[in-house]
Amino acid sequence: MFRPWHQFCLLAALVAGTSAAVAPAITLRQAADPSHVLIGTAVRPSLLSEGAYAATLAREFNMIEPEDAMKWWVTRPNAGTFDFGPGDEVARFAKDHGMKVRGHCLVWDHNNPDWLVHGDFTPAELSNLLRQHITTVMKHYAGQVFAWDVVNEALDENGQVKNSLWYDEPGIGLSKKGTAYIEQAFRWAHDADPQALLFYNEAESEGLNRKSDAIYAMVKDFKRRRVPIDGVGLQLHISQLDFDTTALAANIARLTALGVQVHITELDVSLPLGAGGVAGKDDLQRQAEVYRSVVHACLQNPGCTAIQTWGFTDKYSWIGSHSRGTRGAALPFDRAYRPKPAYNAILQELSQPKNGTQ
């Protein structure tokens, strides 16, 4: 049953006390609805029991994606066992609050369990394992997950297919055949759930560079040969406040011209932290303009259909541990769930008429 967001705000206030943020008059998801764009965030199911976390999530977003709960190391802790518990928590929360779920991810060269990485499997055995995994996971979530990152980060900075378990170490029997293993994964995914949208997701390919050129060429080839690909996910982990939004818009335009959707999948904008782990006021304003420009670039193209941040509160972000505390403050809400200038910029941009219409 859908539970009104104001009930969660009350719960958050009870849990967090006087530090609980006051809910804005209009939310991100309310502002996004007229533009027919999904506004989402990555989540951790272990945090759904925290009142302020759940309240903010339910109030502000109409799409969620698990950070880890649908990856190999969680869903398949050993060869003979599938564990859907954490992922099911995410799916239940989404159903209860009228949200869509993105699945992340089915094929990646990171975050694989030791039994798989060190199993000394032959290419034929590995191929069977991957097909079984894709099929089992997607069928379990059929009708619950509307879009999947089928393959994640398969290319290097030069646009070449990376050496990996799935490609050539030992691979699934398609070693040294370029994007053939990616194609095979998409075909298996389509067979498992023909209704799901299938995405290739990649980092550092948001602008115009060798990697994004290679993605464009791959998608063009796949579409020509009717490989079932529906979209490209652009991660957008941004660390530069002079981010080139013009190049982002151009890349979105050329990809959508091929007949695929684009999702912004892992947006955050990290800042240098000063004494006490606090970001500078001017940097927070500049960060807000980066968020605004990214949202604007997406909204100007009807083929860009979702904008998702990688987490939503600075209280829980990968940036701090990854940078050893030198960077952070990357998300739209601060550690006390108060909206930051970045939140206001996103909200204002979503509230603008899209393509000249209300």
**3-state DSSP assignment of residue 333:** strand
- What are the Cα distances from residue 127, in Å, to 73, 105, 119, 141, 170? 18, 17, 13, 21, 10
CA-nearest of 338, 249, 237, 357 to 293 is 249
Active site residue 65: no
The secondary structure of residue 59, as a DSSP letter, is: H
Residues 6+ apart with CB under 8 A from 46: 86
Structure tokens at 45: 């199911």
Would you call 153 a catalytic residue per the annotation? yes
At 290, list the tokens. 């980066």
CB atoms within 10 A of CB 260: 20
Query: Contacts by 115-118 with C-beta closer than 8 Å and gap 24+?
Result: 115/78, 115/79, 116/72, 116/76, 116/79, 116/165, 117/165
- Among candidate residues 60, 183, 266, 349, the one labeled active-site is 266
CA angle 33, 35, 36 (to 5 degrees): 65
Cis geometry, peptide bond prior to residue 170 (ω within 30 degrees of 0): yes
Helical spans, DSSP H, in the chain: 5-16, 28-32, 51-60, 72-75, 85-96, 114-117, 123-140, 180-192, 210-224, 245-256, 281-299, 318-322, 341-351
Residue tagged active-site, from 60, 65, 89, 153:
153
Q: CA 65 to CA 50: how far, in whole Å?
A: 18
DSSP code of 328?
E
Measured N-to-C along each axis, helices 210-224 and 180-192 cross at an angle, to the nearest 10 degrees, of 50
Residues ≥6 apart with Cβ < 8 Å to 215: 155, 159, 200, 202, 205, 232, 255
Catalytic residues: 153, 266
